[in-house]
Amino acid sequence: MPQLRMAEIAGAQSAPLVMLPGTLCDARLFAPVLDCLGVRARVPELAGATSASSLAHSLLRELPECFALCGFSLGAIVALEIAAQAPERVERLALIACNPGLLPPTAANARANLTQSDFVTSSVDRSDPAIRRVIDDMADTTAPSVYEQQTQITLSRVDSRPRLGRLAMPTLVICGTEDRICPPALSVEMARAIPLARLALIEGAGHYVTLERPEVVAHEIAVWLATPPNTSH
């Protein structure tokens, strides 16, 4: 889709766009997508709390009264918590590379013991040097204390799957077909459970789909932003 046309579609949004990055990520995670869209977004840091519930509560005190919410990986887990706490404020929801459930005990134990450096190595499932450089740079500028908080959020999160059916806002679910961190099956299951969900599987992309296929992700988000809100929820 040409950038001008995409910007026109994205410009149809009626609420501010808020994007929540993942572990060891910041606004650079979404920059290529936003450049394609030609729009701006607020990208808060995932810090200052050790549970998704408390972080969601803290963010809601700072966010606009009504907003479009997009979360990536850990940010998607927090986004689901925000949507559970204040559904009337979330005009629309996008979940990218998301696992809405709990980590199995073995995986949780392994995650608890990952150092900041180990986490980057374990999460990068693509070999593109430019993408790896962005991921490394984001990780290098994240304080160790923030990584510890993000780890606690990951390990203490609740299972959001039982409440997916209560989400009444237009929801976009995005996942790379080669994502081995949050495999596509999780997104397929999640999209089936959410009443107004649209699923977008990005062919050939891994976990960091916003960096690998920004044009495709931008197109999906533009369509999502242009979707009429559900004013009945």
pTM as predicted: 0.93
Confidence of residue 123 (pLDDT cuts 50, 70, 90): confident
Q: Which residues pair with 202 in a beta bridge?
A: 176
Q: Among 62, 65, 68, which Cα is nearest to 41's?
A: 68
- Give the sheet arrangement for strand 171-176, strand by strand: 17-20, 67-72, 90-96, 171-176, 197-202
Q: Among 21, 202, 136, which Cα is nearest to 31's?
A: 21
The tokens describing 15, both together, are: 């609420």
Q: What is the mean pLDDT of residues 135-149?
A: 97
Interval 4-20: pLDDT, tens: 455 555 555 579 999 99
Q: Which pLDDT belongs to residue 215?
A: 98
Q: Which pLDDT belongs to residue 152?
A: 98
Q: What is the mean pLDDT of residues 100-116?
A: 96
94 has pLDDT over 90? yes
Q: Which pLDDT belongs to residue 128?
A: 84
